Protein backbone atom coordinates (compact mmCIF):
# COMPACT_ATOMS: atom_id res chain seq x y z
CA UNK A 1 0.00 0.00 0.00
CA UNK A 2 1.05 3.61 -0.57
CA UNK A 3 1.07 5.38 2.78
CA UNK A 4 1.91 8.86 3.98
CA UNK A 5 2.66 9.51 7.64
CA UNK A 6 2.39 13.16 8.63
CA UNK A 7 4.64 13.87 11.60
CA UNK A 8 8.00 12.25 12.34
CA UNK A 9 7.84 12.28 16.10
CA UNK A 10 7.77 9.16 18.22
CA UNK A 11 4.54 7.67 16.87
CA UNK A 12 4.97 8.74 13.26
CA UNK A 13 8.54 7.56 12.89
CA UNK A 14 7.94 4.18 14.50
CA UNK A 15 4.75 3.63 12.49
CA UNK A 16 6.36 4.65 9.20
CA UNK A 17 9.40 2.44 9.71
CA UNK A 18 7.33 -0.59 10.70
CA UNK A 19 4.89 -0.23 7.80
CA UNK A 20 7.86 0.05 5.44
CA UNK A 21 9.43 -3.04 7.02
CA UNK A 22 6.36 -5.01 5.91
CA UNK A 23 6.79 -3.95 2.28
CA UNK A 24 4.56 -0.89 2.07
CA UNK A 25 5.70 2.27 0.31
CA UNK A 26 5.84 4.94 3.01
CA UNK A 27 6.47 8.67 2.87
CA UNK A 28 7.12 10.35 6.22
CA UNK A 29 6.40 14.07 6.17
CA UNK A 30 7.49 16.84 8.50
CA UNK A 31 7.73 20.63 8.26
CA UNK A 32 11.07 20.61 10.07
CA UNK A 33 13.64 20.64 7.25
CA UNK A 34 16.59 19.95 9.54
CA UNK A 35 14.87 16.90 11.01
CA UNK A 36 14.08 15.53 7.55
CA UNK A 37 17.68 16.01 6.38
CA UNK A 38 18.96 14.29 9.50
CA UNK A 39 16.59 11.35 8.93
CA UNK A 40 17.85 10.99 5.37
CA UNK A 41 21.33 10.72 6.86
CA UNK A 42 20.30 8.17 9.48
CA UNK A 43 20.22 10.65 12.35
CA UNK A 44 17.09 10.15 14.43
CA UNK A 45 15.44 12.76 16.70
CA UNK A 46 14.66 10.17 19.38
CA UNK A 47 16.26 7.11 20.92
CA UNK A 48 14.27 3.90 20.64
CA UNK A 49 15.91 0.45 20.60
CA UNK A 50 15.98 -1.02 17.09
CA UNK A 51 14.46 2.02 15.38
CA UNK A 52 17.63 3.49 13.89
CA UNK A 53 18.57 0.24 12.17
CA UNK A 54 15.05 -0.19 10.76
CA UNK A 55 14.90 3.37 9.47
CA UNK A 56 18.30 3.17 7.76
CA UNK A 57 17.57 -0.23 6.21
CA UNK A 58 14.22 0.77 4.71
CA UNK A 59 15.43 4.19 3.57
CA UNK A 60 18.27 2.52 1.67
CA UNK A 61 15.83 0.07 0.08
CA UNK A 62 13.56 2.93 -0.97
CA UNK A 63 10.48 1.70 0.87
CA UNK A 64 10.78 4.59 3.36
CA UNK A 65 11.11 8.21 2.24
CA UNK A 66 11.41 11.47 4.14
CA UNK A 67 10.11 14.75 2.79
CA UNK A 68 8.81 18.20 3.66
CA UNK A 69 6.59 18.14 0.55
CA UNK A 70 3.20 17.26 2.00
CA UNK A 71 1.46 18.00 -1.30
CA UNK A 72 3.23 15.25 -3.23
CA UNK A 73 3.00 12.83 -0.32
CA UNK A 74 -0.76 13.23 -0.01
CA UNK A 75 -1.35 13.17 -3.75
CA UNK A 76 0.44 9.84 -4.11
CA UNK A 77 -1.10 8.07 -1.09
CA UNK A 78 -4.21 6.01 -0.58
CA UNK A 79 -3.86 6.07 3.23
CA UNK A 80 -2.66 9.07 5.22
CA UNK A 81 -1.79 8.79 8.90
CA UNK A 82 -2.00 11.90 11.07
CA UNK A 83 0.72 11.47 13.70
CA UNK A 84 1.43 14.98 14.94
CA UNK A 85 1.55 16.13 18.53
CA UNK A 86 -1.47 16.95 20.66
CA UNK A 87 0.13 18.94 23.48
CA UNK A 88 -1.79 19.71 26.63
CA UNK A 89 -3.46 23.10 26.71
CA UNK A 90 -3.54 25.34 29.76
CA UNK A 91 -6.96 23.97 30.71
CA UNK A 92 -5.80 20.35 30.45
CA UNK A 93 -7.46 19.70 27.09
CA UNK A 94 -5.66 18.24 24.08
CA UNK A 95 -4.54 20.96 21.66
CA UNK A 96 -5.78 19.87 18.23
CA UNK A 97 -4.32 22.73 16.17
CA UNK A 98 -1.65 20.52 14.57
CA UNK A 99 -4.07 17.69 13.82
CA UNK A 100 -6.52 20.05 12.17
CA UNK A 101 -3.73 21.81 10.27
CA UNK A 102 -2.79 18.46 8.73
CA UNK A 103 -6.45 17.75 7.97
CA UNK A 104 -6.63 21.07 6.14
CA UNK A 105 -3.55 20.19 4.09
CA UNK A 106 -5.04 16.82 3.20
CA UNK A 107 -8.19 18.55 1.96
CA UNK A 108 -6.08 20.94 -0.09
CA UNK A 109 -3.90 18.32 -1.78
CA UNK A 110 -5.74 14.99 -2.02
CA UNK A 111 -6.33 13.87 -5.61
CA UNK A 112 -8.15 10.59 -5.14
CA UNK A 113 -10.27 8.65 -2.67
CA UNK A 114 -8.42 8.21 0.61
CA UNK A 115 -8.57 6.83 4.11
CA UNK A 116 -7.34 9.31 6.68
CA UNK A 117 -6.21 7.77 9.94
CA UNK A 118 -6.03 9.56 13.26
CA UNK A 119 -2.94 7.98 14.84
CA UNK A 120 -2.35 10.86 17.23
CA UNK A 121 -3.92 10.55 20.67
CA UNK A 122 -7.05 12.65 20.34
CA UNK A 123 -10.21 13.18 22.40
CA UNK A 124 -13.59 11.76 21.49
CA UNK A 125 -15.12 13.64 18.58
CA UNK A 126 -11.85 14.55 16.85
CA UNK A 127 -12.57 12.37 13.81
CA UNK A 128 -15.69 14.45 13.15
CA UNK A 129 -13.60 17.64 13.27
CA UNK A 130 -11.01 16.16 10.92
CA UNK A 131 -13.74 15.08 8.51
CA UNK A 132 -15.40 18.51 8.51
CA UNK A 133 -12.05 20.26 7.97
CA UNK A 134 -11.18 18.10 4.97
CA UNK A 135 -14.67 18.39 3.50
CA UNK A 136 -14.57 22.17 3.77
CA UNK A 137 -11.30 22.30 1.82
CA UNK A 138 -12.65 19.98 -0.87
CA UNK A 139 -15.74 22.15 -1.27
CA UNK A 140 -13.56 25.21 -1.72
CA UNK A 141 -11.69 23.34 -4.47
CA UNK A 142 -15.01 22.32 -6.08
CA UNK A 143 -14.16 18.62 -5.74
CA UNK A 144 -16.32 15.71 -4.69
CA UNK A 145 -13.76 13.10 -3.61
CA UNK A 146 -14.77 10.26 -1.33
CA UNK A 147 -12.78 9.81 1.87
CA UNK A 148 -13.17 8.30 5.30
CA UNK A 149 -11.65 9.18 8.65
CA UNK A 150 -10.55 6.27 10.82
CA UNK A 151 -9.39 6.17 14.42
CA UNK A 152 -6.35 3.96 15.05
CA UNK A 153 -4.94 4.74 18.52
CA UNK A 154 -1.38 3.66 19.23
CA UNK A 155 -0.41 1.56 22.24
CA UNK A 156 3.37 1.71 22.00
CA UNK A 157 5.55 1.51 25.09
CA UNK A 158 8.59 3.74 24.84
CA UNK A 159 11.61 1.48 25.01
CA UNK A 160 9.70 -1.41 23.40
CA UNK A 161 7.89 0.34 20.55
CA UNK A 162 9.28 -1.75 17.70
CA UNK A 163 8.33 -4.98 19.44
CA UNK A 164 4.88 -3.59 20.25
CA UNK A 165 4.23 -2.50 16.67
CA UNK A 166 5.61 -5.58 14.95
CA UNK A 167 3.90 -7.97 17.38
CA UNK A 168 0.85 -6.08 18.72
CA UNK A 169 -1.30 -7.48 21.49
CA UNK A 170 -4.19 -5.61 19.85
CA UNK A 171 -4.90 -3.31 16.92
CA UNK A 172 -7.88 -1.07 17.60
CA UNK A 173 -9.68 0.44 14.62
CA UNK A 174 -12.68 2.72 14.71
CA UNK A 175 -14.39 3.07 11.34
CA UNK A 176 -17.84 3.85 9.97
CA UNK A 177 -17.81 1.58 6.90
CA UNK A 178 -16.98 -1.99 6.01
CA UNK A 179 -14.61 -0.79 3.28
CA UNK A 180 -12.46 1.25 5.67
CA UNK A 181 -12.46 -1.56 8.24
CA UNK A 182 -11.42 -4.14 5.65
CA UNK A 183 -8.65 -1.90 4.29
CA UNK A 184 -7.21 -1.34 7.75
CA UNK A 185 -7.47 -5.05 8.49
CA UNK A 186 -5.48 -5.81 5.34
CA UNK A 187 -2.86 -3.24 6.27
CA UNK A 188 -2.30 -4.76 9.70
CA UNK A 189 -2.73 -8.44 8.75
CA UNK A 190 1.05 -9.01 8.23
CA UNK A 191 1.63 -7.98 11.85
CA UNK A 192 -0.79 -10.62 13.16
CA UNK A 193 0.21 -13.85 11.46
CA UNK A 194 -0.02 -16.07 14.54
CA UNK A 195 -3.34 -14.74 15.81
CA UNK A 196 -5.75 -12.06 14.69
CA UNK A 197 -5.67 -9.30 17.27
CA UNK A 198 -7.73 -6.88 15.21
CA UNK A 199 -10.48 -5.17 17.18
CA UNK A 200 -12.98 -3.18 15.16
CA UNK A 201 -15.46 -0.73 16.64
CA UNK A 202 -17.13 2.60 16.07
CA UNK A 203 -14.93 5.69 15.85
CA UNK A 204 -15.82 7.32 19.15
CA UNK A 205 -15.27 4.08 21.07
CA UNK A 206 -11.82 3.73 19.48
CA UNK A 207 -10.94 7.30 20.43
CA UNK A 208 -12.05 6.59 23.98
CA UNK A 209 -10.16 3.29 24.19
CA UNK A 210 -6.74 4.96 24.11
CA UNK A 211 -7.58 7.35 26.95
CA UNK A 212 -9.24 4.63 29.00
CA UNK A 213 -6.22 2.33 28.64
CA UNK A 214 -3.72 4.95 29.76
CA UNK A 215 -5.98 6.11 32.58
CA UNK A 216 -6.25 2.51 33.83
CA UNK A 217 -2.48 2.05 33.86
CA UNK A 218 -1.97 5.42 35.53
CA UNK A 219 -4.56 4.40 38.12
CA UNK A 220 -2.54 1.33 39.07
CA UNK A 221 0.63 3.39 39.44
CA UNK A 222 -0.97 6.10 41.56
CA UNK A 223 -2.81 3.52 43.65
CA UNK A 224 0.43 1.77 44.54
CA UNK A 225 2.14 5.05 45.28
CA UNK A 226 -0.69 6.00 47.59
CA UNK A 227 -0.37 2.61 49.29
CA UNK A 228 3.37 3.21 49.65
CA UNK A 229 2.73 6.49 51.46
CA UNK A 230 0.36 4.73 53.84
CA UNK A 231 2.86 1.90 54.36
CA UNK A 232 5.57 4.35 55.45
CA UNK A 233 3.28 5.86 58.04
CA UNK A 234 1.98 2.60 59.53
CA UNK A 235 5.31 0.74 59.39
CA UNK A 236 4.48 -1.73 56.60
CA UNK A 237 6.76 -2.58 53.66
CA UNK A 238 5.25 -1.75 50.26
CA UNK A 239 7.57 -4.26 48.55
CA UNK A 240 6.04 -7.09 50.55
CA UNK A 241 2.56 -5.71 50.03
CA UNK A 242 3.19 -5.64 46.28
CA UNK A 243 4.17 -9.31 46.30
CA UNK A 244 1.11 -10.11 48.35
CA UNK A 245 -1.42 -8.44 46.07
CA UNK A 246 0.36 -9.14 42.78
CA UNK A 247 -0.05 -12.87 43.29
CA UNK A 248 -3.79 -12.34 42.89
CA UNK A 249 -4.35 -13.03 39.18
CA UNK A 250 -7.13 -10.43 39.13
CA UNK A 251 -4.53 -7.79 39.99
CA UNK A 252 -1.23 -9.07 38.61
CA UNK A 253 2.24 -7.53 38.94
CA UNK A 254 2.20 -5.11 36.01
CA UNK A 255 2.23 -1.42 36.89
CA UNK A 256 2.11 -1.94 40.65
CA UNK A 257 5.72 -0.99 41.36
CA UNK A 258 5.98 1.95 43.77
CA UNK A 259 8.19 4.82 42.73
CA UNK A 260 8.59 8.56 42.39
CA UNK A 261 5.75 9.12 39.94
CA UNK A 262 4.97 8.55 36.29
CA UNK A 263 5.89 10.88 33.44
CA UNK A 264 6.31 10.77 29.69
CA UNK A 265 4.29 12.01 26.77
CA UNK A 266 1.15 9.97 27.43
CA UNK A 267 -0.02 9.35 30.97
CA UNK A 268 0.08 12.91 32.36
CA UNK A 269 -1.42 14.46 29.24
CA UNK A 270 -4.01 11.76 28.61
CA UNK A 271 -5.33 11.58 32.16
CA UNK A 272 -5.83 15.34 32.22
CA UNK A 273 -7.35 15.42 28.74
CA UNK A 274 -9.83 12.69 29.62
CA UNK A 275 -10.74 14.50 32.83
CA UNK A 276 -11.27 17.72 30.85
CA UNK A 277 -13.50 15.89 28.35
CA UNK A 278 -15.59 14.44 31.18
CA UNK A 279 -16.06 17.89 32.72
CA UNK A 280 -16.99 19.35 29.35
CA UNK A 281 -19.83 16.83 29.26
CA UNK A 282 -20.99 17.67 32.78
CA UNK A 283 -19.36 14.79 34.66
CA UNK A 284 -16.89 15.15 37.54
CA UNK A 285 -14.18 12.44 37.11
CA UNK A 286 -13.21 12.00 40.76
CA UNK A 287 -10.89 9.05 40.19
CA UNK A 288 -9.06 10.77 37.33
CA UNK A 289 -8.57 13.92 39.38
CA UNK A 290 -7.19 11.83 42.24
CA UNK A 291 -4.80 9.94 39.95
CA UNK A 292 -3.24 13.17 38.77
CA UNK A 293 -3.09 14.68 42.27
CA UNK A 294 -1.37 11.60 43.73
CA UNK A 295 1.16 11.53 40.91
CA UNK A 296 1.93 15.21 41.22
CA UNK A 297 2.62 14.83 44.94
CA UNK A 298 4.57 11.59 44.45
CA UNK A 299 7.23 13.36 42.41
CA UNK A 300 8.18 15.30 45.53
CA UNK A 301 8.47 12.31 47.86
CA UNK A 302 12.13 11.54 47.14
CA UNK A 303 13.33 15.14 47.40
CA UNK A 304 11.38 15.44 50.65
CA UNK A 305 13.30 12.47 52.04
CA UNK A 306 16.59 14.17 51.16
CA UNK A 307 15.47 17.48 52.71
CA UNK A 308 14.22 15.77 55.86
CA UNK A 309 17.61 14.09 56.25
CA UNK A 310 19.83 17.12 55.61
CA UNK A 311 17.56 20.06 56.37
CA UNK A 312 16.31 22.91 54.20
CA UNK A 313 19.75 24.40 53.54
CA UNK A 314 21.56 22.18 51.02
CA UNK A 315 24.07 24.78 49.85
CA UNK A 316 27.07 22.70 50.93
CA UNK A 317 25.72 19.37 49.61
CA UNK A 318 26.34 17.53 46.34
CA UNK A 319 24.19 14.67 45.14
CA UNK A 320 24.77 12.13 42.40
CA UNK A 321 21.64 11.50 40.33
CA UNK A 322 21.28 8.23 38.48
CA UNK A 323 18.73 8.50 35.69
CA UNK A 324 17.01 11.51 34.13
CA UNK A 325 14.55 10.13 31.56
CA UNK A 326 11.00 9.37 32.68
CA UNK A 327 11.62 5.63 32.21
CA UNK A 328 14.43 3.32 31.03
CA UNK A 329 15.23 2.68 27.36
CA UNK A 330 14.23 6.16 26.21
CA UNK A 331 15.71 9.63 26.17
CA UNK A 332 12.26 11.18 26.72
CA UNK A 333 12.22 13.62 29.62
CA UNK A 334 8.71 14.96 29.25
CA UNK A 335 7.09 15.18 32.70
CA UNK A 336 10.03 13.22 34.16
CA UNK A 337 10.23 12.94 37.94
CA UNK A 338 13.87 14.01 37.77
CA UNK A 339 12.79 17.53 36.78
CA UNK A 340 10.79 17.97 39.97
CA UNK A 341 13.35 16.30 42.24
CA UNK A 342 16.33 18.20 40.87
CA UNK A 343 14.50 21.52 40.96
CA UNK A 344 13.55 20.99 44.61
CA UNK A 345 17.15 20.25 45.60
CA UNK A 346 18.94 22.87 43.53
CA UNK A 347 16.49 25.56 44.65
CA UNK A 348 17.82 24.89 48.15
CA UNK A 349 21.42 25.27 47.01
CA UNK A 350 22.36 21.66 46.31
CA UNK A 351 24.77 20.72 43.53
CA UNK A 352 23.71 17.87 41.25
CA UNK A 353 26.01 15.63 39.24
CA UNK A 354 23.76 13.72 36.86
CA UNK A 355 24.23 10.64 34.72
CA UNK A 356 21.78 9.04 32.29
CA UNK A 357 22.75 6.52 29.58
CA UNK A 358 20.68 8.25 26.87
CA UNK A 359 18.94 11.42 28.11
CA UNK A 360 21.88 13.74 28.79
CA UNK A 361 21.39 15.69 25.56
CA UNK A 362 17.67 16.10 26.18
CA UNK A 363 18.29 17.31 29.71
CA UNK A 364 21.17 19.56 28.78
CA UNK A 365 19.61 21.19 25.73
CA UNK A 366 15.95 21.45 26.54
CA UNK A 367 15.21 21.14 30.23
CA UNK A 368 18.00 21.77 32.70
CA UNK A 369 20.51 23.81 30.69
CA UNK A 370 19.94 27.06 32.60
CA UNK A 371 20.54 25.56 36.05
CA UNK A 372 24.16 26.24 36.99
CA UNK A 373 23.93 23.84 39.93
CA UNK A 374 23.73 20.85 37.58
CA UNK A 375 26.62 19.14 35.83
CA UNK A 376 26.59 16.03 33.65
CA UNK A 377 29.01 13.14 33.47
CA UNK A 378 29.54 10.10 31.26
CA UNK A 379 29.34 7.25 33.77
CA UNK A 380 27.45 6.28 36.90
CA UNK A 381 30.64 6.03 38.97
CA UNK A 382 31.94 9.41 37.84
CA UNK A 383 28.77 10.97 39.23
CA UNK A 384 29.53 9.58 42.71
CA UNK A 385 32.91 11.23 43.27
CA UNK A 386 32.74 13.23 46.50
CA UNK A 387 28.93 13.23 46.56
CA UNK A 388 27.04 13.35 49.84
CA UNK A 389 24.65 10.71 48.55
CA UNK A 390 23.21 9.11 45.43
CA UNK A 391 19.61 9.39 44.24
CA UNK A 392 18.34 6.72 41.84
CA UNK A 393 15.46 8.10 39.78
CA UNK A 394 15.30 6.01 36.58
CA UNK A 395 15.72 2.24 36.77
CA UNK A 396 18.11 1.65 33.87
CA UNK A 397 19.49 -1.89 33.82
CA UNK A 398 23.06 -0.75 34.42
CA UNK A 399 22.03 0.52 37.86
CA UNK A 400 20.75 -2.89 38.99
CA UNK A 401 24.06 -4.50 39.92
CA UNK A 402 26.57 -1.75 40.71
CA UNK A 403 29.87 -2.34 42.52
CA UNK A 404 28.82 -1.29 46.00
CA UNK A 405 32.37 -1.35 47.35
CA UNK A 406 33.43 1.03 44.59
CA UNK A 407 30.42 3.21 45.36
CA UNK A 408 31.44 3.55 49.01
CA UNK A 409 34.96 4.53 48.01
CA UNK A 410 33.68 7.29 45.74
CA UNK A 411 30.89 8.71 47.88
CA UNK A 412 31.64 11.11 50.70
CA UNK A 413 29.02 9.25 52.73
CA UNK A 414 27.42 5.87 51.86
CA UNK A 415 23.91 7.29 51.54
CA UNK A 416 21.47 5.90 48.95
CA UNK A 417 18.03 7.32 48.12
CA UNK A 418 16.28 4.78 45.90
CA UNK A 419 13.30 6.18 44.02
CA UNK A 420 12.51 2.84 42.34
CA UNK A 421 13.04 0.32 45.16
CA UNK A 422 15.72 -1.58 43.26
CA UNK A 423 17.48 -3.19 46.20
CA UNK A 424 16.80 -5.09 49.40
CA UNK A 425 16.89 -2.89 52.48
CA UNK A 426 18.54 -5.47 54.75
CA UNK A 427 21.22 -6.26 52.18
CA UNK A 428 22.02 -2.59 51.71
CA UNK A 429 22.39 -2.18 55.45
CA UNK A 430 24.83 -5.11 55.59
CA UNK A 431 26.80 -3.52 52.76
CA UNK A 432 27.21 -0.42 54.90
CA UNK A 433 24.73 1.93 53.24
CA UNK A 434 22.14 4.13 54.87
CA UNK A 435 19.30 3.32 52.53
CA UNK A 436 15.97 5.00 51.85
CA UNK A 437 13.16 3.60 49.71
CA UNK A 438 9.63 4.51 48.67
CA UNK A 439 6.99 3.02 50.95
CA UNK A 440 9.33 1.62 53.57
CA UNK A 441 9.80 3.29 56.96
Catalytic residues: 266
> Exposure pattern of 68-85 as b/e (b: 16+ CB <10 Å)?
eebeebbeebebbbbbbb
- Give the C-alpha separation, 232 to 440, whole Å: 5
- Give the C-alpha separation, 392 to 390, whole Å: 7
Decide if 274 contacts 288 (C-beta within 8 A): yes
> Exposure pattern of 371-383 as b/e (b: 16+ CB <10 Å)?
eebbebbeebbeb
Decide if 235 contacts 312 (C-beta within 8 A): no
Closest CA to 102 of 122, 93, 91: 122
Beta strands across the sheet bearing 198-201: 64-67, 25-29, 2-6, 79-82, 114-118, 147-151, 171-174, 198-201
The full DSSP string for 263-281 is -SSSHHHHHHHHHHHHHHT
The answer to whether the Cα torsion of 176, 75, 185, 31 is positive or negative is negative
**What is the β-pairing status of strands 147-151 and 64-67?**
unpaired
Q: Cite the DSSP H helix spans in 150-253.
A: 161-166, 178-188, 203-234, 238-246
Amino acid sequence: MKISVIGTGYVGLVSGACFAQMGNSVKCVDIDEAKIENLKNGILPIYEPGLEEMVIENYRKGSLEFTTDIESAIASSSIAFIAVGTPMGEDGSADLQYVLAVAKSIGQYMQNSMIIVDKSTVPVGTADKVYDTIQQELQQRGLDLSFEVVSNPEFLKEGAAIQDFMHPDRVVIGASSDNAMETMHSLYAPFMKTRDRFIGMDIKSAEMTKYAANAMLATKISFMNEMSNICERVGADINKVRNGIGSDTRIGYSFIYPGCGYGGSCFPKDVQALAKTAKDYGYTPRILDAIEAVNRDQKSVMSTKVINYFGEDLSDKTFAVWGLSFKPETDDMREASSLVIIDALTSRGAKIVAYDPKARKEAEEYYLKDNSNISYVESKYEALKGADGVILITEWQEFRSPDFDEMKKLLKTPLFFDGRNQFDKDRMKKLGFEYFQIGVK
